Amino acid sequence: MKYENIQLSMAQPLAVLTIDRPKKLNALNKATIKELHHAFKALNKAKEIRAIILTGSGEKAFVAGADIAEFANFSVKQGAQLAANGQEKLFNLVENLATPVIAAVNGFALGGGLELAMACHFRLASDTAKMGLPEVSLGVIPGYGGTQRLPQLIGKGRAMELIMTAGMIDAPTALAYGLVNQVVPQEELLPLCKKIASRITNNSPVAIGYAIKAVNAGFKNTINGYDSEIEAFGNCFGTADFKEGTTAFLEKRKADFPGK
Ligand code: COA
């Protein structure tokens, strides 16, 4: 498969995957999700690859979210399909990959971007990074696992506040919350990820694959949560709030939600 929205660089046993739509702040459109699905599957199959770093192109963003322009006119059914397909093809795939995936959060990680970072096995951030789930400011909810993985990582109360305020936290706050493991200056981020990856790749790939499976198994009781997220996400697409939220974003103005 020819990649147009991502870059893949390999220095065995490590692969670096870079989401490469800097003009759109690396927003996840359908094509990018498809390419990432393909790349993760291929890298997981490649025997010589023992760790993957995922990052965003440019200095501004990891990923600024799902591509709002692409889904603004979706129906309830298309909304639910978007979430279900994305969860299966990318977010759950990454979370359950037997090869370790480290997120190098090099800037904005918002909405689907933070959800993607949270699906990775752990996260390191640059001191410029900003993280949040702004979906409710658009009249929708996180649909790529965010309502499940954020409380798992930072606790229910903090997750509720972050989701409801649609706010952003800076890197030191994300570190204090346990959302990221370390924060370093931008230029040190990839070298640090590579250093940690090289410690991982010294160890047994088979044992690491089993460890990932075992850790994830402890969270599987939330499986229905993912299903209710998909249903609620789809329902948002039938609301006037969603139409107003996405239209306002694309027209670069503040949303005026009609509400209940
Ligand atoms: N989907 C589609 N396009 C997006 C996007 C997204 N999630 N995030 C950014 N972009 C686009 C902008 O529309 C803009 O495109 P344009 O130059 O063709 O107008 C370009 O990326 C640059 O973004 P801009 O908003 O001009 O940058 P900024 O520095 O002023 O603001 C953000 C940065 C991240 C605060 C702002 O882009 C933003 O709020 N993005 C949406 C975040 C979001 O709600 N994500 C969740 C989606 S479910």
Which candidate in 4, 35, 88, 135 is catalytic? 135
- Same domain, residue pair 232 and 184: no
- From 201, 225, 240, the end of a domain falls on 201
229 is catalytic: no
Is the minimum distance from the CB of 67 to ligand 1 under 6 angstroms?
yes
- pLDDT tens for each residue of 188-199: 999 999 999 999
What pLDDT, on the 0 to 100 scale, is given for residue 129?
A: 98
Mean pLDDT of the chain: 96
Q: Is residue 257 included in any domain, yes or no?
A: no
CA 25/CA 62 separation, integer angstroms: 7
- pLDDT tens for each residue of 68-123: 999 999 999 999 999 999 999 999 999 999 999 999 999 999 999 999 999 999 99
pTM, rounded to two decimals: 0.95
- pLDDT tens for each residue of 206-238: 999 999 999 999 988 766 889 989 999 999 999
CA 67/CA 73 separation, integer angstroms: 12
CA 40/CA 61 separation, integer angstroms: 21
Q: Is residue 210 included in any domain, yes or no?
A: yes
Report the CATH number at residue 237: 1.10.12
CA 236/CA 238 separation, integer angstroms: 5
CA 194/CA 246 separation, integer angstroms: 38
Q: Is residue 195 included in any domain, yes or no?
A: yes
- Same domain, residue pair 108 and 126: yes
What pLDDT, on the 0 to 100 scale, is given for residue 260?
A: 77
- From 186, 201, 216, the end of a domain falls on 201
Q: What is the mean pLDDT of residues 17-40?
A: 97
Q: Is residue 61 included in any domain, yes or no?
A: yes
pLDDT at 50 over 80: yes
Q: Is residue 34 included in any domain, yes or no?
A: yes
- Same domain, residue pair 172 and 238: no
Half-sphere exposure of 146 (CA within 13 A, CB side): 33
Q: Is residue 112 included in any domain, yes or no?
A: yes
- pLDDT tens for each residue of 127-171: 999 999 999 999 999 999 999 999 999 999 999 999 999 999 999
Helix (H, G, I), strand (E, B) or coil at 15: strand
- Same domain, residue pair 33 and 139: yes
Nearest CA to ligand 1 atom 14: 24
Q: Tell me how many domains the chain contains.
A: 2
Q: Is residue 260 included in any domain, yes or no?
A: no
Report the CATH number at residue 109: 3.90.226.10
Mutate to test the pocket of ligand 1, among 25, 163, 237 (most ligand atoms within 8 A of CB): 25
Q: Is residue 10 included in any domain, yes or no?
A: yes
Is the minimum distance from the CB of 94 to ligand 1 under 6 angstroms?
no
With vertex at residue 239, the alpha carbon angle to CA 238 and CA 240, rounded to the nearest 5 degrees, is 130
- Same domain, residue pair 173 and 210: no
Is the minimum distance from the CB of 64 to ligand 1 under 6 angstroms?
yes
Residue-by-residue DSSP string for 137-165: GGT----SSHHHHHHHHH-HHHHHHHHHH
> Domain range holding 11?
6-201
Task: Provide the 8-state DSSP code for 66.
Answer: B
- Same domain, residue pair 120 and 209: no
Task: Provide the 8-state DSSP code for 112.
Answer: H
Measured in degrees and rounded to the nearest 5, phi and psi for residue 108 equal -55, 130
- Same domain, residue pair 127 and 57: yes
Structure tokens of 160?
């509720």
